[in-house]
Amino acid sequence: MIEKGLAAVILAAGQGTRMKSALPKVLHPVAGQPMLGHVLRVAQAVGASPVVPVVGHGAEQVRAIFEAEEITFALQSEQLGTGHALLCAESVLGDFSGDLLLLCGDVPLLQESTLQRLIAHHRSHGAVVTILTAMMGDPTGYGRIIRGESGVERIVEEKDATREEKEVAEINTGIYLFEAPQVFELLRSVGNRNAQGEYYLTDVVAAACSAGKRVEVLSVEDNREAMGINDRRQLALANAVLFERINDCHMLEGVTLVDPTAVYIDHDVVIGSDTLLHPGVHLRGRTRIGRDCVIEPGVVVTDCQIGDRVHLKAGSVLTESIIGDECTIGPMAHLRSGTVLDGQNKLGNFVETKKALIGRKSQASHLTYIGDATLGQNVNVGCGTITCNYDGVNKHQTIIEDDVFVGSDSQLVAPVRIGHGSLIGAGSTITKDVPPDSLALSRSEQRVIEGWAARKREKQKKK
């Protein structure tokens, strides 16, 4: 027997009025990824090909976000309803014949295992339509599954439902498996005489029943998967569910979360075992964290690679940086993009770095800015040091070679090079290169006038 083909259409053209947002609804992030991204992934995971999102509202914005993925979109230029939206994908599917999975761009929690069950059920029952349903404690807002003597007869939308129908707790998740091209024939018979004047995809069910086609239902096991995101409260709930799933995975892999309800880890983040995460930690994007690290409260890490046994202290923010093994960062350090620490480095409180390559064991313990700089090994940067990298027009490089000691409150005016083994006297403004093994000082000599303060006090008393 030849394996049946599987294609997917994802409805994502609606405006999402209830979000009250300038951003198309399907681009709102859930656990760091646009809602539509989650749906695309799950469709690809069950092997659907092609996967065709139907876009309309904010179509250009949506396309741009998924540019890299080589997806063919269908366009629904006027949002005339979910049924009309599916019809808009027909030409993109061409002469596809097989199982057509229909997903919604605003149902991002759906899991691969549930779709596998849906596909198996549909195929084993030889159905033309299989609806994924859920039992909801509060079904308000969803389409209700209306059953007759011989099984499911139709779906009625909240706005079209009678009081009795509204009591039905079995709801339409908006996910279906259809037989293509049959579903398109059925869709063409669907009208728009309903409360919203839309072509409802849900009316395919009644059309299939009238035509004597087999309609099946399958219920999701965990009805949180079926949650459609229509407003910001549901968005917050979806985030909570997805973060919980992600956190559970990490805990089972040996990561300690002191309070898993208060740690926010994006989908693609990788964390080594025995790493400890305190509350209020955000790990975002493509971040990778090694083993045996400690990440204290309020740390935000975005797109970083972090080695083993690294200690990130409270309130530090790290972006697009590479941190070698055994570094200690913070509290309240700010590592901006292009920071690379070789390992065993210490950057203390209120240290900011940007495009800074810092050799092994070099450190800056307090109140320092290091930008557009290359530091060798064992460099000690004193409190209050600033690389003056910007002249108002261009950025310039500071190079500090191995074993340099920069005294506190120094300014290094770039471009400038400090030769290895040199010492910069505290309070210096360095504008010229310093040869190796030298002392550079640039402060005026100290004057002391003995007794001056006492004489001033005497004078004031006499006034």
Catalytic residue list: 366
Nearer to ligand UD1, 115 or 430 (CB): 115
> Nearest approach, Cβ of 188 to ligand UD1 (angstroms)?
16
Token pair for residue 329?
A: 């960062």
Q: Is 171 in the site for ligand UD1 (CB under 6 A)?
A: yes
Contact range with ligand UD1 by CB under 6 A, out of 43-51, 102-110, 338-346, 391-399: 102-110
CB 43 to ligand UD1: min, Å: 14
What are the beta bridge partners of residue 318? 301, 335
Size of the site for ligand UD1 (CB under 6 A): 29
Nearer to Ca ion, 54 or 418 (CB): 54
- ω into 181 cis (within 30 of 0): yes
The rounded distance, in Å, linking the Cα atoms of 199 and 84 is 6
Q: Which of residues 91-110 bind Ca ion (CB under 5 A)?
A: 106
Q: How many Å apart are CA 384 and CA 386, to the nearest integer?
A: 6
Identify the bridge partners of residue 439 per DSSP, sorted by sequence position.
423
Taking the C-alpha atoms of residue 68 and residue 107, their distance in angstroms, rounded to an integer, is 22
Task: For residue 201, state whether it binds ligand UD1 (rule: CB under 6 A).
Answer: yes
- Indicate whether 228 belongs to the interface with Ca ion (CB under 5 A): yes
Q: Name the binder of 172 from Ca ion, ligand UD1, none, CB < 5-8 A by kind.
A: ligand UD1
**202 vs 247, which CB is nearer to ligand UD1?**
202
Rounded CA separation 367/327 (Å): 18
Find all residues with CB under 8 Å of 55, minimum gap 6, and list them: 12, 13, 62, 63, 73, 74, 75, 76
User: Under the criterion CB under 6 A, does residue 143 sit at the interface with ligand UD1?
Assistant: yes
Closer Cβ to ligand UD1, 160 or 274, answer by number: 160
Q: Which of 274, 276, 279, 249 is nearest to 261 (CA)?
A: 279
Nearest CA to 208 out of 185, 181, 177 is that of: 185
In angstroms and rounded to an integer, the radius of gyration of the C-alpha atoms of the chain is 31
Of 171-179, 264-272, 297-305, 347-355: span binding ligand UD1 (CB under 6 A): 171-179
DSSP state of 186: H
Q: Three-state DSSP class for 287? A: coil
Site for Ca ion (CB under 5 A): how many residues? 3
Q: How many Å apart are CA 183 and CA 203, to the nearest integer?
A: 11
Q: Which position's Cβ is nearest Ca ion? A: 228
| Interaction residues for ligand UD1, span 17-56 (CB under 6 A) | 54
* 389 sits near ligand UD1 (criterion: CB under 6 A): no
Task: Enumerate binding residues for ligand UD1 (CB under 6 A).
Answer: 11-14, 54, 76, 79-82, 84-85, 104-107, 142-143, 155, 157, 171-174, 200-202, 228, 230
